[in-house]
Each structure stands twice: as C-alpha cells, then as structure tokens.
C-alpha cells in the first residue's frame, strides 16, 4: 500500500482483512480501494479484473449498490491471497460453526471443543431504543399465533459470522418456520444459498436448559459429518 492511500481506505482494507465483514460495502468504494493498492481492469460491460501484487481475480459489478456478503467474503480472501497485509489466506476459516438462536439473541460458536482455538460471538436484533423485547414486528396482524419474522438485519448479522465456516449447525427451540431457527434457515436459503448449503444439522433443544458443555457435545457428534460431494465450501 503506497503512501498516498488515504486513512479511510487503510481502515477499510484492514477491516476487510482482519475485522468483521461490513454489512454495507459499496461497489465504488471497492473499486477505489483496489485502484489505489493495485489495478482495476474492465472486462466486458459489468465484469472487472482486480490486480493486487501477483494476484488476479474476476469480480462482477453487483446489480444493487452494495456487494452481497458472499462477494465481500470472496474479496477478503482475494486480498489475503494477495498478501495485502501479509496475513495468511485461511486465517479466518473455521471448520464448524454452531448457531444457538432464539428471537432475542444468537450465540455463535466457532470450532467449539476442537483442536483449533474456539471463538464465540453474539448477535442481537436491531433495537436502538430498547423498546422491543421480542421480535421486531413488521405486519403483526398477519402472523397471529406465530413468532413474528425478524428484521433481515438480525439474520444478516448471523450470516456474516458464519460465512467462512465449512459446516454449520443450527440450534433452537420451536418447530417449523414460526421458530427463530426456522426463520434463519429460510433467510439463508433465500439470500445466502452458499451458506445455506453448508448447514449439516438442525437441533431442537430447550435453550433455557442447554449449556456450553452440551453444545460442545453436539458439535463433537457432528464433527465428522461431511458436506454433500457437490457442495462448494470456498467463496
């Protein structure tokens, strides 16, 4: 990275490689960043070749203003493989992620009980003023008797935290699409199919009773369960 790169772009680069994936990343910001640390070459109407060091990658301009989470993750891997900050490309890859979710909070465990260092993250529904104690209601009248669907930002935050996992286990109480785990499953299927295809198990548990040792046991039980042969893990 040269001395003329601005502070904001340095922060963006460092965040992309070492931090949590941003929820919103505009295509113009990406093109500007790559243009300063490398080269952006047009390749057709909406395709571009990014060149950083000796690394080249094809990226497509998104139909929306922002990049999808899978594309942001692929950009992170590209920058790591290009040694933009000298960090190994697989530094944030995890073998297994467990999502323990209810309408109020999701606890996400990476490589729990395995040989690698484990990690834990927490995602909560967006509630800036603390008014809501349940799911954020969109059209409550249409969901009488069921859990009301959560704002997409809740499930998007979870998707961001499991996007680099090779396999994913979901845990929650309730059954069907009216449960938080059911809503999450449907959201991933619709918006992040690459992540959805890495779900290897959905466990129905009483969340008030399950503790970390029990979660670790479930992780161990599924540790050797492989993905279908045609499933692509890398993104």
pLDDT at 234: 36
pLDDT of 70-127, one tens digit each?
888 889 888 888 887 765 445 556 788 999 998 888 889 988 765 554 567 777 776 5
pLDDT at 29: 92
* 8 A C-beta contact, residue 99 and residue 179: no
**How far is the C-alpha of 63 from the C-alpha of 126, rounded, in Å?**
26
* 8 A C-beta contact, residue 8 and residue 16: no
Find the helix or strand (DSSP H, E) in which 158 lies.
Answer: helix 152-162
Place of tokens 């959805």: 196
- Token pair, residue 174, equals 């309730």
The crossing angle, in degrees rounded to 10, of helices 27-37 and 7-18 is: 100
**How far is the C-alpha of 32 from the C-alpha of 155, rounded, in Å?**
29
pLDDT band at 131 (very low <50, low <70, confident <90, very high): very low
Could you tell me which residue, 188 or 10, shows the higher pLDDT? 188
pLDDT of 184-223, one tens digit each?
999 999 988 888 999 999 988 877 777 888 888 888 888 7
| Cα–Cα separations (whole angstroms), residue 162 to 21, 70, 167, 206 | 11, 11, 9, 22
Whether residue 149 has pLDDT greater than 80:
no
pLDDT at 196: 93
**In this structure, which topology does domain 94-221 adopt according to CATH?**
Nucleotidyltransferase; domain 5 (3.30.420)
Find the helix or strand (DSSP H, E) in which 33 lies.
Answer: helix 27-37
**How far is the C-alpha of 80 from the C-alpha of 70, rounded, in Å?**
15
Whether residue 139 has pLDDT greater than 50:
no
* 8 A C-beta contact, residue 207 and residue 102: yes
This model's pTM is above 0.75: no
Instruction: Give 70-77 contacts, CB < 8 A, sequence gap 24+.
Output: 70/163, 70/192, 70/194, 70/195, 70/235, 72/16, 72/21, 72/22, 72/25, 73/21, 73/163, 73/164, 73/235, 74/235, 75/16, 75/30, 76/16, 76/17, 76/21, 77/234, 77/235
pLDDT at 113: 63
Whether residue 2 has pLDDT greater than 80:
no
pLDDT band at 224 (very low <50, low <70, confident <90, very high): low
* 8 A C-beta contact, residue 121 and residue 99: no
Where does 130-184 show beta strands of DSSP type E? 165-172
Domain ranges for the chain: 7-81, 94-221
């Amino acid at each position: 990275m040269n001395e003329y790169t601005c502070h904001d772009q340095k922060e963006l680069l460092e965040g992309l490689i070492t931090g949590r994936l941003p929820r919103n990343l505009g295509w113009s910001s990406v093109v500007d960043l790559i243009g300063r640390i490398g080269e952006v070459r047009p390749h057709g109407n909406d395709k571009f070749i990014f060149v950083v060091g000796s690394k080249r990658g094809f990226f497509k301009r998104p139909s929306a203003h922002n990049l999808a989470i899978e594309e942001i993750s692929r950009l992170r891997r590209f920058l790591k493989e290009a040694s933009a900050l000298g960090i190994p490309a697989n530094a944030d890859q995890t073998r297994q992620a467990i999502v323990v979710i209810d309408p109020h909070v999701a606890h996400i465990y990476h490589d729990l009980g395995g040989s690698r260092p484990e990690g834990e993250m927490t995602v909560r529904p967006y509630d800036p003023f603390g008014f809501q104690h349940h799911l954020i209601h969109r059209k409550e009248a249409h969901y009488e008797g069921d859990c009301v669907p959560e704002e997409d930002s809740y499930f998007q935050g979870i998707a961001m935290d499991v996007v680099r996992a090779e396999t994913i286990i979901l845990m929650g109480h309730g059954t069907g699409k009216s449960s938080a785990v059911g809503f999450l499953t449907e959201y991933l299927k619709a918006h992040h199919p690459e992540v959805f295809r890495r779900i290897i198990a959905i466990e129905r548990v009483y969340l008030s009773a399950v503790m970390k040792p029990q979660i670790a046991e479930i992780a161990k039980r599924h540790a050797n369960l492989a993905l279908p042969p045609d499933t692509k893990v890398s993104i």
